[in-house]
Amino acid sequence: MPDPTLDRYAVIGNPIEQSKSPFIHTAFAQAIGQSIDYTKLLAPLGGFAAVVDAFRANGGRGMNVTAPFKLDAFAYATDLAPSAQMAGAVNAMKFEGDKVYAENFDGVGLVRDLVHNLKCPLQGRRVLILGAGGATRGALLPLLAEQPSELVIVNRTVVKAQELAALAQQHSAVQVPVLGLGYDAVQGAFDVVLNASSSSLRAELPPLSADVFAPGCLAYDLTYGKGLTPFLQLAQQADVTRLADGVGMLAEQAAEAFAWWRGVRPDTTAVIAQLTVPLA
């Protein structure tokens, strides 16, 4: 039974057993001397709203949202932040009375991991991002805010990459060239290559030429905990020495949500160290 004296939070998904969110948020709270009750909620497909309604009725204060419910959360929210509107998806909610405030912290979490943790400034750099799904869509504005020299989106279905490129240029306050291409049209080498496609979840290699990796490039797989994925193996074989997975992004987006809920942004160093899987 939850402790009725503690503020209640949860992560909702299907499946949900694999989620690291309870560990992360409990560790954050302990590190700054707070106590919270944070649980996992398995919702049936089609049953998202009913589970959230029950959680709110029992005093729930906020919720992280993972697959496959980020679109359900978008529809459920009463107040969507610009980050959620741009992403078309929600990964964090805050409940205040009848209001359901919604955010998407994935993009800002990715950029903070790149720039702050990995010491990889994006300003003036050529950035290539693989995939044109929700992860890429949510990352576009935070990436462009760092003022890269160029951002190229590559996808098997070229029109999806082109649509995202147009959307990014329409909404970005920063004038950065954004291109949407197919894999066979990518030219030149890039300083940062981000794999936001689902290929690593299936242990597949994207149809990517090893020529895209510039000397000193950072190859970053948004998937975490999978070790040396086929994408990272390709980069390694191309003599890329800076390899990273998405564990830092996971921790940083969680820290953004925690700060939004609790008013204090926790340090992520210890959590990242505990969750890091060797890239081997």
Catalytically active residues are 70
| Contact present, 69 and 90 (Cβ < 8 Å) | no
d(CA 43, CA 73): 12
Length of the chain: 280
Instruction: Report residue 87 as tokens.
Output: 């992403």
Answer whether 191's CB lies under 8 Å from 126's CB: yes
Amino acid at 238: A
C-alpha distance from residue 15 to each of 43, 65, 66, 278 (Å): 8, 12, 9, 25
Closest C-alpha to 35, from 3, 11, 6: 6
Q: Is 70 helix (H, G, I), strand (E, B) or coil?
A: helix
- 3-state DSSP helix/strand/coil % of the chain, to nearest 5: 40, 25, 35
Q: Give 256's strand partners.
A: none
Q: How many CB atoms lie within 10 A of CB 1?
A: 4
Asked if 70 and 89 touch (Cβ cutoff 8 Å), the reply is: yes
